[in-house]
Structure 1
Amino acid sequence: MKIAIISVSDKGKKLALDLKEKLNNDSTIIKADLYHKNVKKYFPILFDEYDAIIAIMASGILIRSIASLIESKVSDPAILNIDDNGEFVISTLSGHLGGANKLTKKVSSLIDATPVITTSTDVNNKLGIDVLAQDLYLSIDNTKEILFFNKAILEGREIFLTVNPNKKFDYLFNYLNNNTLEINVSIYYSSKMEMDEILVSLDDHELILKEKKLVIGIGCRRGKECEYIYEGLMNSINDLNIDKSRINMLSSAEIKKDEEGILKLSKKLNIPVNFVELDKLKLFKSNDVEKSEFVFSKFGIYGVCEPSALISAGFDSKLIYKKTSYSGVTIAIAISK
C-alpha cells in the first residue's frame, strides 16, 4: 500500500513524521510520503497517486477537501482522519475495498489511538462479501451487488458460493473456517465455473469473484537451500495473512533459472516459477522498486525480487509487499490489477 500523510498544523506535522517512520518499517507499506498544508492543491494529486491518504486535521477540512473528488468505492483511495493529538483514527472512506478499516486498526496500534470504524458489517461482527474479496485478493465483477449481499449477510441469510471441483480452494475454506466474523455460506461445485472464479449467489442476484494474479518475487544468494527460501516466503505471506494455496506464481530473474533452491521450492509448493529475461528487467522502470547498486554492478539490473514479481503479475500490477530480506533471501509480492 502506498500512503500519503497530509497535515495542516505544526502539531499534526510532528505526528505525521512519527507515523511515517513507523509505517516505513512495515513491509506491507510500499512507501509513506509526507505533505503539509496546501490541502486544496494536494488532495486532487493524492487521490490519483496513492492507495491511502491519512489526513491529520479537523474532519470538516477533510470532508470539504475530498467531497468533489469522491467517485466510487471501487476506485476511491482509503481515507483516514486523525486529530492533531493522535487520540482517534477514523476510517472515513473506502473502508472495505480500499482497505481503510484495516489500515485504521494498524495505524491506531502504531500511535496508541482509538480506532473508529462505522461500516455496518464490521460493527455487527459480520463478514462483508467485499471484505472477503479484499482479504483474498479477488476482484468483483459487479460491485453494484455488494450492497445486496452485505445486507443479506447482516440479516443472517445463507449465501451460496460455487467453485470448480478441479481447482483447490484451500485458501477460501481456511479463510472461512478461521475468520472470527460471522457469515452463513454453503459451497457448491460446478465444472461450468472457470478455475479462478467464485460465483456468489442468492435469489436472482449474482456476482463473480475472480483471483487477481498473486506473484512471489524471489532473490537469493547462489546456492541458497530451498528450506531457507521457503522460510522467507512463509514469513512474508504470513505478514499478509495469505494462505500459500493462494499463490499463483513464483518469479525470479533468468540468472537464477538453474538455482536449485528455487526450483525445489516450485516443486514443493506445486506452483510454477517464471524466470524473467534480463532484457525485460533492464528496461523495466517503477518508482516503487528499491534500487540496489550492488546488484546493478554484478548483473546490470537494479533488482530481482520486486521487478520480476511486477513483470510476472502483468501490466499495471502493484507491489503489496516490498523487498524484505531473510538470511540471504529477498522476497517481494505483487498482485495484478
Structure 2
Amino acid sequence: MKKRWAFLSVSREGARLAGRCAKAMAGEVQISVYTLKKYAEGAAQPYPGDGKLGSFWAQAMMDFDVLVCVMAAGIVVRGIAPYIQHKSKDPAVLVLDAGGRYVISLLSGHLGGANAAARTLSARIGAEPVITTGTDVAGLLAVDTLAQKLNCTFTDFEAAKNVTALILDQKPVEIVNEAGVDLSAVSLPDTVAVTARMTASSQGQIVISESDRLTLQSGHQVQLIPRDVVLGIGCKKNTPAERITAKVKGLLKAYHLHPKALAVFATIGLKAHEQGLIKSAEAFGAAVKIVEDDAIKSVQDRFEGSDFVEKITGLRGVSEPAGYVASGQGNCIAPVVKGDGVTLSLWRMAHNQK
C-alpha cells in the first residue's frame, strides 16, 4: 500500500512549492495538498473544517504517514506538539523553507521514515536534506533503522535506545542472528559483530529471533523480531474476532513464535469482508491478503481437500493453499489446525516475499 503524504502550506509561495513537491512524488505515494482557502487552486484544497491549519493538525497527525510542511519550523513545532505520541506511532514530519532550499527531517526520522523521505524529496526538487539524528550524522547504524532494513520489529524501545547509544559511542555490540536473516545488504560499523549465539565479549546485543521464549537482560539486549510469518485462515461466517484471536495466539504459542512475527492473514475472496477476521488481523498489526480463487485452485491439490468446503466456497481448501500462495510458496511452519469454525496454518515467507 502506498504511503499517504500530505503537503501543507500557509502562503502563496509556499502553496506553489507544495504543489511542485506533490508533483515530484506523484505516482509513488498517495497525495493530498492543503493550503489556506485564498491560495487554493489546482490540486490544492482548503484545510477542512474552518479552513485553518491550526484546526487541522490533529487530523493530519492521525491520517497521514508523511507531512510535508512548507512553512517556518516554529509553526510546525507548535502545531504538532500536542499530538506527538511515540516514535512508533508518529508520522514523519518534514519542514521546507519557502525557497525550497532545504528539506528538514523534523520528527520520526527512523521509524516514521522522515530521514528517508527527506532524502528522496530533496533529490526530486534539487534541495539539501537536513538530517540531525546522531547515528546518521556519524554514519553509524541505529537499532530502529536496522529493524526497518531487515523488516523486523521490536517492543523494548528503551533497550533499543541504549544499544543504539553503545553503537554511537563505538562500544562493542553483537548482532546475534538466530533467525538467519540476510544481512548482506546492511553496512555495519566496525564495532558491530555478527554471531550465531550470544557471547560475553560485547557490551550490548541485538538478537534477531522469532522466539517468544528469549530471556534478555534489561537495558542492553534487544530482540528484533522478523515479520515473516503468514497465517493461512478460513472461518465460518460471523466468527467473532475474540475467538479467532484466541485460536491464533494458541497456535503461535504452540510453536513458540512471537506474536509480532505474524505479518499477514491470508484468506480467500469470500472472506474479504469477514469482520471477525479483519479485526483479529488488526489486533496483531497484520495485513489481510486476499488470495484469488484461481491461485488457490492452482495449488490446492498439494493439500488435503474437503467436499464440504468445496460446496460452500467452490475451493477444496482455504487455510493451507491461501497461506502457501501468500507466503510466496514458503515453508510450512504449522499444518492446518481446525476447531470452533476456524482453520489455521502457519507459513514462513519465501525470501523474495520479505
With the length of structure 2 as denominator, give the TM-score of the two structures: 0.57
Instruction: List gaps (5 residues or longer) in structure 2.
Output: 37-51, 199-206, 231-262, 267-288, 300-320, 333-344, 347-352
| Distance of 1:111 and 1:100 partners within structure 2 | 16
Of 7, 18, 21, the residue aligned with 1:19 is 21
How many angstroms apart in 1 are the aligned matches of 2:72 and 2:94? 11
Structure 1 residue 174 displacement after superposition: 1.5
Number of aligned residue pairs: give it: 234
Question: Partner residue of 1:33?
Answer: 32
State the partner residue of 1:317. Answer: none
Q: Map 1:184-203; keep pairs closer than 5 Å.
A: 184-189=192-197, 195=210
In structure 2, what is the equivalent of residue 293 of structure 1? none
- The alpha-carbon deviation at position 270 of structure 1 amounts to 4.9
The question of 1:131 aligning with 2:160 is answered: no
Residue 7 of structure 1 contacts residue 13 of structure 1 at CA under 8 Å; is this kept in 2? yes
CA distance in 1, matches of 2:113, 2:192: 23
1:35 partner amino acid: Y
TM-score (norm 1): 0.60
Matched, 1:271 2:330: yes
For the residues of structure 2 that align with 1:197 and 1:133, how far apart are their CA atoms? Answer: 17
Letter in 1 for 2:33: L
User: Matched residues in 2 for 1:193 and 1:62: separation?
Assistant: 37
State the match for 1:88 in structure 2. Answer: 102
Deviation at 1:53, TM superposition (A): 0.8
CA distance in 2, matches of 1:66, 1:88: 20
Q: Give the aligned residue type for 2:226.
A: E
Q: Structure 1: how far apart are the matches of 2:213 and 2:113?
A: 21
> Contact conserved, 1:161 with 1:198, CA < 8 A, in 2?
no
Per the alignment, do residues 198 and 137 of structure 1 end up closer, same or farther by CA in structure 2, a change over 3 Å counting?
farther
Q: Could you tell me which amino acid in structure 1 is paired with residue 293 of structure 2?
A: E
Match of 1:55 among 69, 73, 77: 69
Report the alpha carbon displacement of residue 147 of structure 1 after superposing the two structures with TM. 2.1
Question: What's 1:242 paired with?
Answer: none
* Structure 2 match to 1:209: 224
Contact 2:210 2:225 in 1 (8 A): no
Distance 1:40 1:6 in 2: 11
State the secondary structure of the residue aligned to 2:161. helix
Q: Give deviations 1:36-77, integer Å, cap 9, x for gaps.
A: 132211111011111111111011111111122222222111
Could you say which residue in structure 2 is the equivalent of 1:6? 8
* Residue equivalent to 1:232: none
Separation of aligned partners in 2, 1:88 and 1:162: 39
The RMSD of aligned alpha carbons is 3.7
Assess if the C-alpha contact under 8 Å between 1:126 and 1:153 holds in 2.
Answer: yes
The alpha carbon displacement at 1:102 in A equals: 0.5
Higher relative contact order (CA 8 A, sep 6+): 1
Rounded to whole Å, the distance in 2 between the matches of 1:75 and 1:107 is 22
Q: Structure 1's 203 and 139: CA in aligned 2 closer, same or farther, altered over 3 A?
A: closer
Per-residue CA deviations over 1:125-146 (Å, capped at 9, x if unaligned) read: 1011111012222111101122
Pick the aligned partner of 2:296 from 229, 245, 257: 257
Q: Secondary structure at the match of 1:86?
A: coil
Return the offset for 1:205: 2.2
Q: 2:185 aligns with which of 172, 175, 192?
A: 175
For 2:328 and 2:59, the matched residues in 1 are separated by 42
**Cα displacement string for residues 268-293 of structure 1 (whole angstroms, at most 9, x for unaligned residues):** 965269xxxxxxxxxxxxxxxxxxxx
Q: Is the 8 A contact 1:6 1:55 kept in 2?
A: yes
Q: 1:206 to 1:91 in 2, by over 3 A?
A: same
Preserved contact between residue 177 and residue 194 of structure 2 (Cα < 8 Å) = no
Runs of 4+ with >4 A deviation:
180-183, 196-204, 247-251, 265-270
Tell me which amino acid in the other structure corresponds to 2:92: A
Native 8 Å contact 1:90 1:116 kept in 2: yes
Q: For residue 13 of structure 1, report the CA deviation from its aligned partner.
A: 1.1
Question: Displacement, 1:197?
Answer: 7.7
Q: Give the gaps of 5 or more residues in structure 1.
A: 216-246, 274-311, 314-332
Quick one: which amino acid aligns to residue 138 of structure 1?
C
Map 1:298-309; keep pairs closer than 5 Å.
none
TM-aligned CA deviation for residue 257 of structure 1: 2.3
CA-CA distance at 1:258 after TM superposition: 3.6
Secondary structure of 1:68 counterpart = helix
Q: Distance in 1 between matches of 2:298 and 2:85?
A: 47
1:120 aligns with 2:134: yes
Aligned counterpart for 1:152 among listed residues 166, 172, 183: 166
Larger Rg over CA atoms: 2
